[in-house]
């Protein structure tokens, strides 16, 4: 399967796509370009909103507006102006860390993780923001906190620490929002690059974006079998999510960061937003319910 360009957005580090089903819009971020992007598939138009800080992830909020993981903490953001109201910065004491990927669980709690921006220390954590805006550190000792997904029955959480080069599974207690029983779901072979962001389809299979892997892989997390590959004409594929009216369209973000002029010439669409119909439907994106 091959993905095609949806928007030649020229992002530096495109990331974190999130489908807003109520407005039929795709939100995504450019972490190093300090931008919130809003893609309207009906018009084929991508619009960028400047932010004062580096964003890590974006989700909608059920009562309106957006919730974002920003460099300096979690914040409610107005998508028209980019203005923000910080909720909490759980790592005010770790200036070398920044927030990275984040997503809501099926009950609408927001999970987001951090990383050492220099990619040296394993000083990252994964946090859970509850509906009353209280928060809790759920995992410590993380290298690069990245993709998150919940199984269709809500009983398993999947998680990527990119530097571990694998996808882990946890037993997930939906009512409590607690995780236990961490184990390896599958490892990503070195020849496929590093696992970055991910999403899950209605069959419970994981679609994992492969940094330095020129695309995505679709894995069965219960057997560890690689089922399919999607080719993207950019080496640094960063994340993916399902969108469209029937949730049968995959959107894929990419990065141009680190490419010299020769690299950019060979990957002219780096930093673009890609899409493909992949023959299976995703699960609806959950907005923050608090
Ligand atoms: Ca990422």
Within-domain flag for 91: yes
pLDDT for the residue numbered 7: 98
Report the pLDDT averaged over residues 95-114: 97
Residue 258 Cα to chain centre, angstroms: 20
Number of domains making up the chain: 1
Cα 168 to ligand 1 centroid, rounded to whole Å: 16
How far lies 198's CA from each of 11, 110, 260, 269, in Å?
19, 16, 27, 21
Within a domain: 112: yes
Task: Evaluate whether residue 282 is within a structural domain.
Answer: no
The confidence score (pLDDT) of residue 181 equals 98
Say what the pTM is: 0.97
pLDDT surpassing 90 at residue 82? no
Query: Is 272 inside a domain boundary?
Result: yes
Looking at the domain assignment, is residue 260 inside a domain?
A: yes
Residue range 63-79: mean pLDDT, rounded: 95
Distance from Cα 79 to the centre of ligand 1, integer Å:
21
Mean residue pLDDT of the chain comes to 96
Is 145 part of a structural domain of the chain? yes
CATH, residue 43? 2.120.10.30
Confidence label for 72 from pLDDT (cuts 50, 70 and 90): confident
Is residue 168 part of the annotated active site? The answer reads: no
Distance 273 CA to ligand 1 centre (A): 14
> Of 69-73, 126-130, 169-173, which range is least confident?
69-73
167-213: pLDDT as tens digits: 999 999 999 999 999 999 999 999 999 999 999 999 999 999 999 99
pLDDT for 169 equals 98
Q: Is residue 284 part of a domain?
A: no
Where in the sequence is the domain holding 154, given as residue range(s)? 4-277
Could you tell me if residue 288 is inside a domain? no
Minimal CA–CA distance to 33: which of 6, 17, 14?
A: 14
* Chain segment 18-35, per-residue pLDDT in tens: 999 999 999 999 999 999
Neighbours of 6 (CB within 10 A): 20
Query: Given 30, 105, 168, 196, which residue is catalytic?
Result: 196
The span from the CA of 131 to the CA of 286, in Å, is: 13
Quick one: pLDDT at residue 220?
A: 98
């Amino acid at each position: 399967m091959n993905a095609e360009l949806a928007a030649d957005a020229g992002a530096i580090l495109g990331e974190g796509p999130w489908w807003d089903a109520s407005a039929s819009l795709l939100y995504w971020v450019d972490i190093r370009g300090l931008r919130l992007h809003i893609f309207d598939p009906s018009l084929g138009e991508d619009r960028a909103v400047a932010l004062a800080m580096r964003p890590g992830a974006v989700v909608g909020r059920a009562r309106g507006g957006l919730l974002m993981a920003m460099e300096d903490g979690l914040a409610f953001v107005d998508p028209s102006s980019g203005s923000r109201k910080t909720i909490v910065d759980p790592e005010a004491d770790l200036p070398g860390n920044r927030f990275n990927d984040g997503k809501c669980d099926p009950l609408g709690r927001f999970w987001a993780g951090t990383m050492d921006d220099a990619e040296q220390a394993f000083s990252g954590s994964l946090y859970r923001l509850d509906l009353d805006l209280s928060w809790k550190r759920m995992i410590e000792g993380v290298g690069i906190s990245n993709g998150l997904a919940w199984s269709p029955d809500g009983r398993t959480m999947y998680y990527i620490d990119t530097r571990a080069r694998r996808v882990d599974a946890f037993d997930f207690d939906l009512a409590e929002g607690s995780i236990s029983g961490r184990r390896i779901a599958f490892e990503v072979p070195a020849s496929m690059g590093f696992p970055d962001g991910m999403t899950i389809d209605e069959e419970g299979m994981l679609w994992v974006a492969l940094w330095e892997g020129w695309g995505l892989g679709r894995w069965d997390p219960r057997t560890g079998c690689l089922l399919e590959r999607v080719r993207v004409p950019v080496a640094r594929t960063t994340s993916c999510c399902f969108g469209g009216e029937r949730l049968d369209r995959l959107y894929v973000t990419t990065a141009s960061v680190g490419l010299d002029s020769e690299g950019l010439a060979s990957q002219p669409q780096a930093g673009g937003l890609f899409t493909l119909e992949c023959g299976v439907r995703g699960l609806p994106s959950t907005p923050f319910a608090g």
